[in-house]
Structure 1
Amino acid sequence: MQPQRIKKRAILGGTFDPIHCGHLGIAYAALEQAGLNQIIWVTDRHKRDPRQQSRVEFEHRQEMVSLAIAPEPAFCLGPASPEDPEAGYAIVTWQSLQQRYPNSQWYWIIGADAFSTLPKWYRASELVEACEWLVAPRSPSSPPVNYPEETPLLMEISPLNLQKGRPKLNSTLGTNPSHPLDHTALIKTEEICQQVAIAFKTRQIHLRWQILQSQTLPMASTLLRHHWCDWPKIRTWVPEPVQIYIQTHHLYQNPQHPLPPHSSSIPSL
């Protein structure tokens, strides 16, 4: 009997409240750049982000992810996590998926700001050695916010305060300067990655990472939640099946930050 071929699988986790085209763009960039066979989307059951005033339940968020990723065969919805908050830790998620998919080479897709907190994650050393990290650049215009030190699956959290004069490490595969990335975002992301790599090097742990060659888009689930009612144009940030689901189930229907007429505070795409 021929041994099973090892497949390249990536985990993309988040609260997805709601999932939007920015998430999908990052996933497609990772799929192509790392030559992945499959991306497993893991919806965090427990919303730990202090900005999240939404009361959208896990089942709704999970269904929206399912609808958004359905057209892509390489995308897979991860299993629902148990209700125990401890089960939401990234290392526990990875161990569960490893048991389900034993013949796998593992990657973790993550935003640069969430990646900056990796040294503080629960059992981070084990997780770092198990995965290669695919880091998505974040828009330099993202507002700074303070967050808890440990947020296992969140994608939208603030970056570390970068220190100057530190030694630099190279990413595993480097970056592609020919791709039209936002230069400021790329530099910021590179600095974050170098800093995280140095933090683990002091623990004698080798961090494997590469920056995704994806555009930084002015999208955030926070804006979608806040302005779904009063700014119809923003609804184009989510795939059509998700738009229909949100309208059908009356999600995000209470405007929390109404915009004045002709406001320009929502960035145009």
Structure 2
Amino acid sequence: MQQSPIKKRAILGGTFDPIHWGHLGIAYAALEQVGLNQIIWVSDRHKRDPHQQSQVEFEHRQEMVRLAIAPEKAFDLGPPPSEDPKAGYAIVTWQTLQQRYPDSQWYWIIGADAFATLPKWDRAAELVEACEWLVAPRSASDPGLNYPEETPLFREISPLNLQQEPPQLNSTVGTNPSTHLDNTALIKTEEICQQVAIAFKTRQIHLRWQILQSQTLPIASTLLRRHWCDWPKIRTWVPKPVQIYIQTHHLYQNPQYPLPPHSTSLPRL
């Protein structure tokens, strides 16, 4: 019997509260740069971070991801994790997907800040050996830097290459050749990657990684949640089907949260 060809698949995990154009930009950058066959989006059921203000349930977040990625045939919604908090661990996620897609070469799309924590992950050595890591740089001016909105293993990934107007959902998002990475962000991301690689090298583990070549911009789901009601323009940061879903289900309707203390205004797009 002829074996199925090996396909290049990547995992992109997060709370996606809500998903926005930045997440999609990262995914398209990875799709084009690495020549991936498929990106599997995995929503974390449990929001373990006490800083998170949102009360949006997993089912809503999962449905918003489904709506956002529907136009792209290379994107697939991963299976929902079980109610067991340990089901959200990265190693469990990878094992589940490996069983579903056995003929795969695995990649993991991740933000630079989360990548820095990789040596502390549960059974990190197994994951490092199983995947190549695609690291999304984080802008030095990212307003979410001091407001973490990640779970221990699926950090909110910094948005990349958002256009002045909501971009069309196609392979040009996040891969515009006229756009270059902010040099400070690139240097910082390179330093983080080298430090993580050294940490694993001391344990005799070889880490495979590359930096995603896409421009960073200062938006985050935190601002979407806080200002959905009081700043209508911010709604263009999410695809139209997600906008409609949020309005229909009356999500993010309690904008009684201050801006981050180091920010005097919302970022201009």
Measured against the shorter chain, the TM-score band is: 0.7 to 0.9
Q: Tell me which residue corresponds to 1:50.
A: 50
Say if 1:149 and 1:81 are closer, same or farther in 2 by CA, change over 3 A.
closer
Q: Within 2, Cα distance between the matches of 1:21 and 1:178?
A: 19
Q: 2:153 matched to 1:152?
A: yes
- 1:96-175 maps to which residues of 2 (within 5 A)? 96-142=96-142, 143-145=144-146, 151-155=152-156
The runs of 4+ residues in structure 1 deviating greater than 2 Å are 142-150, 154-157, 256-259
Q: State the aligned residue count.
A: 247
Give the CA deviation at 1:57.
0.1
SS at 2:128's partner residue?
Answer: helix
Is the 8 Å Cα contact of residues 15 and 150 (structure 2) preserved in structure 1?
no
Is the 8 Å Cα contact of residues 113 and 155 (structure 1) preserved in structure 2?
no
Q: Unmatched 5+ residue regions in structure 1?
A: 158-176
Is the 8 Å Cα contact of residues 12 and 42 (structure 2) preserved in structure 1?
yes
Q: Within 1, Cα distance between the matches of 2:19 and 2:71?
A: 15
TM-score norm. by structure 2 comes to 0.87
Say if 1:134 and 1:71 are closer, same or farther in 2 by CA, change over 3 A.
same
Deviations 1:98-139 (A, max 9, x none): 000000000000010111110111111110110000000111
SS at 1:49's partner residue?
Answer: coil
Say if 1:216 and 1:9 are closer, same or farther in 2 by CA, change over 3 A.
same
Q: Identity, % of aligned pairs?
A: 81
Deviations 1:164-198 (A, max 9, x none): xxxxxxxxxxxxx9861111111111111111111
Give the CA deviation at 1:26.
0.1
Is the 8 Å Cα contact of residues 132 and 207 (structure 1) preserved in structure 2?
yes
Deviations 1:117-163 (A, max 9, x none): 10111111110110000000111123544879981222359xxxxxx
Is the 8 Å Cα contact of residues 109 and 136 (structure 1) preserved in structure 2?
yes
The one-letter amino acid paired with 1:127 is L
Q: Within 1, Cα distance between the matches of 2:90 and 2:25?
A: 22
Is the 8 Å Cα contact of residues 38 and 74 (structure 2) preserved in structure 1?
yes
Is the 8 Å Cα contact of residues 227 and 255 (structure 1) preserved in structure 2?
yes
- Which shows bigger deviation, 43-52 or 198-207? 43-52
State the superposition RMSD in angstroms: 2.1
SS at 2:206's partner residue?
Answer: coil
- Which shows bigger deviation, 139-148 or 182-191? 139-148
Q: Within 1, Cα distance between the matches of 2:148 and 2:212?
A: 24
TM-score norm. by structure 1 comes to 0.87
Q: Tell me which residue corresponds to 1:168.
A: none
Q: 2:83 matched to 1:83?
A: yes
Is the 8 Å Cα contact of residues 120 and 150 (structure 1) preserved in structure 2?
no
Q: Within 1, Cα distance between the matches of 2:76 and 2:184?
A: 33
Is the 8 Å Cα contact of residues 7 and 105 (structure 1) preserved in structure 2?
yes
